[in-house]
Structures are given as C-alpha cells and as structure tokens.
Structure 1
Amino acid sequence: MRLPLLAALATGIALPALANSWDDTVAAAKGQTVYWNAWGGDERTNDFIAWASGQLEAEYGITIQQVKLTDTAEAVTRVIAEKAAGQTEGGSVDMIWINGANFLSMKQQGLLLGPFLSDLPNAKYLDLSEGSAAVVDFTIATEGYESPWRLAKFVLTYDSARVAEPPKSMAALLDWSTASPGRFTHPAVSNFMGATFLKQALIELTPDASVLQGEATDEAFETATAPLWAWYDELRPTLWREGSTFPENESILQQMLNDGEVDFAMAFDPAAAAAAVERGLLPETVRSYAPEGGSIGNISFVAIPFNAANKEGAMVVANFLLDPATQAKAQDITVLGSYSVLDPAKLDDAARAAFAALPSSPALPTNEELGRTLNEPHPSWMTRIAEEWARRYTE
C-alpha cells in the first residue's frame, strides 16, 4: 500500500471538471505498463523508480518498466526514428527523464505530448508563476510539456579527514589542486557531470555571466569561455593522472573518493554524499558544500512523447511523482535524498510535518549552506563546451 499520507493528501482536489477528466485518465491507465526511459547510472534512483512502480501497481494497476539509459539522447533518437517512419501511435517510449538540450530538441521537432502539466491534480503544489524553476528548463519555457520531479544542485564533496579547509571557488580550487597534485579530478566532459563542472567554472570565471542565458553564438562563446580555458590549462596538469584520463561518471569518482584515490567528488544532488554514507559507500567524514558564490541548479523533468503507447499511464506516473508524500519519500536520505520540487507555501500541515521528520546527516548541507542558485546556461553552451573541450584536450 502507499504511504498513509498519500491518501490523506489526495482528497479535496479542487476544480470538479479537472477531477472528472482526471478520473477518465486514471481509468484508461489501468493495466498499462509505462516504459520510463531514465538514466540508469544511479542505484538509488533505480531503486526509487522500482518502489514507485510497486506503489502505482497497488493503487492504480500501473507498472513502470524502467528503460535504463546511459544518455538521454538514446530515447530521443528512438522517438525521432519512429516519427520519421510514420509511427504516430504505439511508440516505444512512454516517458523520458529529460532536461536542457534534449527537451529543446524534442519541443522544436514537435515530438512531445502536451501541454499536460495543468491536467495533473498534484500540479497545484508547484510554483507555476512565470520564471519559476518549475516552468523553465535551461532557460527554455516548458509551457506545460514537462512535469518536475526532482531538484538538482551542483555540490563538491570532500573527506574532512584529509582536507581541513576545502576551496570555495574555482579560482581557489586551482590553487588547492596546484598545491595537492593528483588529488582532484572530474568526470569525463562527455558525461553530464563533467560538463556541469565546466559550466560551474564558466559561470564563475566569465566576465559577464548574463550572456550565458542566450544562445552561444561564435562571438559570444569565444569571449565568454576565454577565461575558462586559461584556467583549465593551468588546472589540467595538476589533476589525477595529470589529466590524461578521467573517471567515466560521478559514481566512479565517488568510489575513487571512498578508496582514497582522490580527495574530492562532485554531484548534482546535494544529498548524494549523505545517502552514500547511509549506505556505507562513503566514510562518515565526508561533507558536501556549494561554492561560496552559488552553484548551478535546476529541476529535473519528465516528458511524454507525442506517440507514447501508454500516455495515460505516463500522466498518472507524472502526477504520482508530484504527490507530497512521494516527494518526501524521495527527499529521505535513506531512500534517494533528492530535494523536493514542491512549493512549501502550498503544502498543508501534514505534508510539512512529513518533510520536517526526515532524517538528517552531517554530510547533508542545509538550504542556507547551499546558498544562491545559479541559472543554467542556454543548452547550446553545454554542447559547445563539451565539443571545445574535446577538441582542445583529446584530439
């Protein structure tokens, strides 16, 4: 059965017309298997999706089949191929965990179902005001074609038993790594986490970060990234193995931190280290923090392709992910540790109590410690940074 709080919070939905329409959606979804294409590189996330499947099956007769991706573009490519083949119904992808450039690509090509967010009863718990993080994806207005499900923010993680005072900025990180050669590295830039590390550095080092909110034209890119490459040219020789090779992803980097091979890891989840400590995957001396000037943050979304075979089931899954009790479950560091996307001002007393009762950890930074959230650059910056880094340092 679902958590008791779920049932309590599901009552009293306003707008009867929406409720009637939603009843039809729920009825049509019964018995469907939703093929959720989601990055499969994190065990906690995979376990959470499996838990959600069990809850949905008990409550709605819906099953989630996670299609584990190494790159979201895999699912996007499948939908593109199906459209090209004229397959406008019965598509193989029912729902995608998506962000940024992949969302922009699908939106521009008319590959998404929607807008559907306003049809979800639990959307009432979101801040849907103009410019809110819940309605903007890497500077792109979602316009109801995506539904939020988890909050992400860049943090660095270090072992306090080995590092007394961690560097609080990218300039300070260069100084630290120069004094401690071989003790810092980052995931490969072809990986999202590696590219995010460079974007964080870019925002800190570029003379005018506001230009990053627009498309990366040739002129803007050259001017904005010049300080980044000058900084990285100095940093690279100080990295683990002198920057000749890089861990494939953040999970491998976390293992390297645990093994004492490096002194830092990084994540786009402020609770990742606390959850790893809880599971015995990192020592209790690790701590996570955000750079003092703020860190890149965004909301992760789910979207439904235009030709999804089980679109009603996908909508029910998206709505379930927004339930306050589901969000509280996800924020529990013993489960997933993913910060909630909901607007606290829109929660009732029972929901607030559920969040207040969640376990804490010395490795878990407070909202105050996380500081200011820096806006993601336009998706074109991530693409060009990865390409330019590869050209400069691997060719």
Structure 2
Amino acid sequence: MPWRTALSAQAVLSQAAWVGVRLMIGYRALALGADPVFLGLLASTFALPALLVALPAGRISDRRGGTGMAFIGLISAAAGTAMLFAVPGLPFLLVASAFIGLGNLLVMVGQQTFVAHVSAKGSTEGAFGTLTAAASIGQLIGPPAATVAASLGTGGGAAPDTTLGLLVCLGFTLLGAPAYFFLRRTDGALRRKRHTVNTQPAKIGGVLKTPGMWRSLAVSGAVLVTVDLMYAFVPVWATEQNIDATAVGVLLALRAAVSVLSRLGLMRLIARFGRKALLLVSIAAAAAGLLALPLTGLYGAVAVMVGLGLGLGIPQPLTMAWVTSLTHANHHGAALGLRLTVNRFAQISLPVAMGAAAAPLGVLGIFWANAALLIGAIVVVAGSDAGPGGGTSAVDPADGS
C-alpha cells in the first residue's frame, strides 16, 4: 500500500473519531447539566496534558519517526474513549477528555512529522494539503456518523444517546491503527537517510527566535482555537435554536466538505494568489461566519458553514508549511511540536476566558470574541512575510524546504 493511501486512511479515521468524540462529550455534558463555563473548561482539558507533551513528542518523532508516535496516540485515544463508558458524571468527563486530547496530540505530531520529512525535497504545502484534506474528510464523516447513531438510540426522546455515538468513534480509532504497519518501512528509510547528516538537536529557544516564527505560531493558534470552540459551542447554539443533533452533524459535515474541496485545490490557489493572500482572505471568511452564526437559524447557518469551511480549511496546511519552511529538515518535528504546544496553550487559556464571557452574553459572546481573535490573526498575517520561501534564513538550502 503506498504511504499516501495508508496515511490518508489513518488521518480520515482518526479525525472522524476525534470530532465525533468532541461532539458526543459536549452533548453528554449538556445532558448532565453543564453550563457554558464548564463547557469552556471541558474544551481546555482536551489540550492541557498535551501542552506538556508536544515538544518532547516532536523531538522523539524527529529521532524515531512519526508513524510509531501516531500509533501510540491512536491507542491512547481509544483507551480514553473507552473510559467514558466506565464512570458517569461531569468530573470524570474532564479526565477522559484530557486522555483523549493527549492521544490526538500524539497522532497529529506523528503524522505531521512524517509528512514534513517525506516532503523535504518537494512541496510542503502540497503534502500538508493532502494530509489536512484527509483530516477534513474525517471531519465530514465523524459528526453525521456519531449523531445519526446517537439519534437512533433515543427511543423517541429528544436527547441523543451518546453511548452509541461514542461506540462509533471508538471503532474509527481502532480501524486507524493498522496503517502503522504500512507506513513504518517508509518512515524507517527516511530516518536512516536523515541520520547520515550530523545535525545538533533542535533548541527550542533558537527555534522561537527564528524570524517570522512567532507570527506563524500565533496565526496557527488562533485558527485551531476556532475549530475547538466551534465543536464545543455549536451544540449550545443549536439547543437555543431548537435544532436537533442530526442537523448539527450535517452542518458540521458541510463545513468539513468545504474544507476538503479548498484543500484539494490548494496548490493551484497558492500558485495564483500566494500564501499570504490566501491566509488573509480565508481567515476573514471565518471571522465573518462567526459574527453571523449567533444571529442565524438553521438555513442561515448553511452559508455560515461554507465561510467557516474556507476559513478553517485553508489556513491549517499553510501554517504547517510556513512553520516548517523556517526550520532545518531534521528539526521539523520539533518545530511542529512547538506549533502544537502554542496551539494547546491557546486552547487551554482562551476557551475558559470565552466561556466566562458567555455566562452573561450567551453564545453570541463566545462567537464574537472568537471573531475578534481571528481579526487579530489577520493583522499579524498582514504584517508578515508569509509567502512561499519567506523568512527561510534558518533553513539549509539543500533541504529544498
């Protein structure tokens, strides 16, 4: 099996499980009486343990390869999902979500490091576009699969049966694990080739001081927080609008479908408009969607999800390529681990703050605060050199990064 096929299948399944679990945990928390502050805390716990692990995981992936790291992450995420069947109650939701978040972090570090290493001589935007397009297909599959299964178990009631939805997500996670056995040979060959070059281990202080690095990290964090908050708070918006769980799954699937389409044509868009222009336009589309969502009903949300699909689909592969373009090929895992650490820090701090803001303002406060965050990201991009090849002084020219 070619590595692209194996990696894409793993990314589809792992992301389907991830977003489905996020949605089901949100509904379970609401059924147990959670308020917006608790939902913000729940979103943060997905990120908390990973904040401490991303950097060492990136360094280990540089040395040992990313495929094994992704395999360990899938097993960890499966174990965390299984925990949700063991003990009821809101406090245990926080423990299980932290474990699942740790597993997802290891999967992402492993997959992204593998892609960065295998594409070191080619187009990183195209390779990351393939990975993130596969992830978006998973995001397209996960919400409807989980919500339809949950709706089938309601027995005519309004609240979804989250146990059935979580079983579907657990199945996705376990199905993604065997791809490791198809990827490890390619990863091993890449690792042996990299180790023929004597390169010092990456120092995080040096990576942070790379020109342009902080800008790429800030933009990446703002976009990823938006994805997290959307999955955490769209159920709250839907509940206020009397929109059922199946419709929510369809809306989130539409958002993912638009992201898939935008990523499949990414190389042509970059060639025509450039990385910086794409970042500016796509993030602006996401900000506009967040401003509009609290004021719309079901049909208006369709247009909002199209905007969010563009705004959350295009920036992620571009910021991954932006980060790796600033670093040596042997340090891509460390740089991507740093990117994920910054992302996780944002995921921990911002949802709690926005959840507190939502107490008096409701979901309008959450989505509008998130839109303001994206407008700040637009300002950062506007002042940067984010075009292909920009700010690459730290890169070994022989790497072709």
Question: Structure 1 length as normaliser, TM-score?
Answer: 0.26
Q: Which has the higher strand share?
A: 1
Per the normalisation by structure 2, the TM-score is 0.26
Question: Looking at CA atoms only, which structure, 1 or 2, has the larger radius of gyration?
Answer: 1
Answer 1 or 2: which has greater helix percent. Answer: 2
